[in-house]
Amino acid sequence: MKYYKFEPEKPGQCEVRLFASETIYREIEQDSLQQLFNARELPGVLGVVGLPDIHLGYGLPIGGVMVCDVDKGVISPGAVGFDINCGVRLLSSNLEVEHIKEKTEELSQVMKQDIPAGVGSESRQSFSRKEFSKIVEQGLPYTVSELNYGTEEDIQNCEENGHIPGADFSKVSAKAYDRGKTQLGTLGGGNHFVEIQKIDQIYDSENEHIKDINPGNAAFMIHTGSRGFGHQIAQDYIDRAKNKIQSYAFDLPGKNLASFPFSSKEGQNYFRAMACAANFAFANRQLLTEQLRRTVQRIFPEARLNLVYDLTHNIAKKETHVISGSPREVLVHRKGATRLAKNGLALIPGSMGTGSFLVTSLNSEATVLSFESVAHGAGRTMGRREAKRTITDQQHRDSIRGIKVVSGSNSSLLDESPLAYKNVDTVIESLQKTELARPLLRLKPLAVLKG
């Protein structure tokens, strides 16, 4: 099997596993590898994994997985990150690109009108405090079945059925609620988007999970998270972890990996608040989906958009994995990392000008050793600031030619240029070489609404 293994340096320490091609491995910054080594210094860490889209993050690198013992291990708000349950969903459609092509421009303008986008964007609908608390505690089963946003099929095609158990709204600060109450059904900024895509290539038409997906049809991809609500929850508990660290019996490896013992009161409080943010994000993507369905139907009344899958890539979850040969319940932190769905599928979005992929698990030994994780996207090669400083407007325009880009904000989008990201093809190649996943569909962007 082909992965980079870094043996334990102390007794009881776990190995670090890096799943990357040699080409990608040579490009990885030493600092992001160091973040993986820092992670295994924490108590009760049973596994640390890097994926081919790895780059420097806050505490844990983006493209990083940290697995902890549920009794003796920790939970780290920094290892989940600021955008709790940032995630991606793919919707297939019955629209043929050839048929809708001349109206792509019109459709993207209508999307811009209908979908609140950009930092600070606010919901068009409002929810009572009681409704809000049920949305964040119960996720999609409440949002879909009680508030009538979408279908039972939407719930079934969502990771964890759109509900992280254990969510407790009383563990969420008033400030987080205040920021979040007007943000359900909004896209946000940064790398968040709604994209119109073409099913460009099918690699395995026999696969049962894509038998209803036709080449040449349009698809829609939504990428967003828990907005200011999750950001505030992350900030609240990161501050608390940093303040509390001296009272715990472990040293802090890298200041931003501040953690609570998972079994402690504080650790449980963070888990319960984080679960609220996760459920918020599932509901957010669901509300955006329902809006998008109405928006597309304004132009194409016959349009039907079906959820292929919704997956999160910033979260800590209780899952069962095989550790040293036997299955047990563990706490898995994934930052910029995706868990393969039960049916084996995963989504790998590219940057704004490049293709995205639907992949499927290779069900290999590597799948077990990665804790069923794959990359979450292309992965940055440049930080936001560096991108804005070094990429010119002309270079950026050239890199996205042929794709209609509309934006909810006035920012330059240079920090989201394809030139600031790895080529997604090299990430897919790495997933294949390391026996984690193979591509099923390639999705080509036609138009994108950015935040």
Give residues in contact with DNA (CB under 7 A).
82-83, 86, 118-120, 175, 178-179, 183, 188-192, 224-225, 227-228, 231-232, 384, 409, 411, 416, 451
Min. distance of Cβ 423 from DNA in angstroms? 18
If we measure between CA atoms, which residue out of 97, 89, 423, 439 comes closest to residue 281? 89
Measured from the CB atom, the residue of 364 and 411 that comes closer to DNA is 411
If we measure between CA atoms, which residue out of 85, 80, 84 comes closest to residue 57? 80
Count CA within 13 A, CB hemisphere, residue 207: 20
Min. distance of Cβ 339 from DNA in angstroms? 19
Min. distance of Cβ 190 from DNA in angstroms? 2
> Is 376 tagged catalytic?
yes
Please give the Cα distance from 21 to 432 (Å, whole number): 9
Let me know: does 67 contact 209? Beta carbons within 8 Å.
no
Measured from the CB atom, the residue of 328 and 389 that comes closer to DNA is 389
Residues, the chain, total?
451
Measured on CA atoms in the order 144, 147, 149, 151, is the torsion positive or negative?
positive
Measured from the CB atom, the residue of 191 and 338 that comes closer to DNA is 191
Alpha carbon separation from 149 to 243, 273, 315, 341, 376 (Å, rounded) = 41, 24, 24, 23, 27
Q: In 3-state terms, the chain is what percent helix, strand and coil (to 5)?
A: 40, 25, 35
Let me know: does 91 contact 305? Beta carbons within 8 Å.
yes
Please give the Cα distance from 20 to 39 (Å, whole number): 19
Catalytic residue among 192, 313, 376, 396: 376
Under DSSP, the state recorded for 450 is E
Two tokens at 155?
Answer: 């719930």
Min. distance of Cβ 120 from DNA in angstroms? 5
Measured from the CB atom, the residue of 112 and 179 that comes closer to DNA is 179
Measured from the CB atom, the residue of 324 and 410 that comes closer to DNA is 410
Min. distance of Cβ 329 from DNA in angstroms? 30
Measured on CA atoms in the order 349, 142, 177, 58, is the torsion positive or negative?
negative
Measured from the CB atom, the residue of 73 and 118 that comes closer to DNA is 118
Min. distance of Cβ 17 from DNA in angstroms? 25
Catalytic center residues:
376
